[in-house]
Amino acid sequence: MSDAFDDDYWRERLTDEQFYVCRQKGTEPAFTGKYTDTTVDGVYQCVCCGSALFDSESKFHSGCGWPSFTAPTHAQAVQEHLDLSHGMRRTEITCTHCGAHLGHVFNDGPHPTGLRYCINSIALTLDADT
């Protein structure tokens, strides 16, 4: 899907902030995202394409300033890419379906995975359980 749509397509569908984070690999300021401290049950979806990315059961409060998860909904939900920007070596996470930048994954998370998927709130929508 990501190759089929250009910047104009995404600019028409996203806010400026969503476009900056999701399409230009930006980052929202720490502790400003609406899902950082959310404890509502549901599925977190890609704001660009609606794909299911993370379940509230894997969400935890890491104190890093962004929503954190131990695992995606399934292994194919996200893709990993080497990110050498800003003088760091990190693993970027993108939506498999549309290529949206979501955040990064680190190996300092809790059990059972030991991973911390650190995700920008602005890249997500929450489909809350009712």
Q: Could you give the residue numbers annotated as active site? A: 118
Asked if the bond preceding 72 is cis, omega within 30° of 0, the reply is no
Q: Per-residue b/e over 68-107, b at no fewer than 16 CB within 10 Å? A: bbbbbbeeebbeeeeeeeeeeebebbbbbbbbbbbbbbbe
